[in-house]
Amino acid sequence: MNGINLNVIPCETNLKTDIKDNVNPCPVCNVSGSFVKNITVRHMIYDDLLENIGNFDYYLCMNEDCKISYYNNDFRVKFEKSDVKVPIWFKKGANSKYACYCSKVTEEQVINAVINDKATNMKEVLEITGAMTNPNCQINNPSGKCCHHTIQGIIDRALID
């Protein structure tokens, strides 16, 4: 791919929220986005659109109702959720709603582990579902970040219900 390094960062090194998050609003809905590295966008966008990506980083629109997935306001580039190879878990209409993209574990599987298998913590859910066993988050997860926080949020909600 034109000399771009496609090395991946393991899940464990990518747990922290990026300091660039929430500083650049979506050009369509004006909701703050989450910083995403170029390598993630290159792996997420359909191949016929790769030439439009450029060599700069992006933001992921965090509005569940907005049709925009990735954008870069400085270069006036934006991609819609229909341009992305995988469903973005928090966007309306996402099917499947992956909690862990690397291991293809869905939100429903995490909820079932808590409700049906009586898992009460992350370790138990990971053992039951197999989530986080094949970490390549930077290229598999549309956010480019580890799914740990997403899975923990699902566990917390399931335990309350």
Q: Kindly report the backbone phi and psi dihedral angles of residue 141, in degrees, each rounded to the nearest multiple of 5, phi listed first.
A: -95, 130
If asked whether residues 156 and 102 sit together in one domain, one would say yes
* Domain of residue 52, residue span: 18-83
Residue 1 maps to a domain: no
Number of domains in the chain: 2
Kindly report the CATH number assigned to the domain that includes residue 152.
Answer: 1.10.10.1100
Q: Do 123 and 146 lie in a common domain?
A: yes
Q: Are residues 151 and 111 in the same domain?
A: yes
Cβ-based burial of 130 (10 A; exposed 0-12, middle 13-18, buried ≥19)? middle
Whether the upstream peptide bond of residue 32 has omega within 30° of 0, thus cis, is no
- C-alpha distance across the termini of the chain, in Å: 46
Kindly report the average pLDDT of the chain as a whole number: 90
φ, ψ (nearest 5 deg) of residue 28: -100, -50
| Digit-coded pLDDT (tens) for 64-82 | 999 999 999 999 999 999 9
Per the domain annotation, does 138 fall within a domain?
yes
Nearest to 83 by CA among 34, 126, 45: 45
Residue 121 CA to residue 128 CA, distance in Å, equals 11
Sign of CA dihedral 63, 74, 81, 68: positive
Q: By three-state DSSP, how is residue 32 classified?
A: strand
Query: Confidence band (pLDDT; 50, 70, 90) for 161?
Result: confident
Residue 45: DSSP 8-state: B
* 49 found inside a domain: yes
Whether 68 and 112 share a structural domain: no
**Is 118 a domain residue?**
yes
Say if residues 36 and 141 touch (Cβ distance below 8 Å). Answer: no
β-bridge mates for residue 138, sequence order? none
Confidence of residue 8 (pLDDT cuts 50, 70, 90): very low
Whether pLDDT at 104 is above 90: yes
Q: What is the mean pLDDT of residues 94-110?
A: 96
Domain assignment present for residue 13? The answer is: no
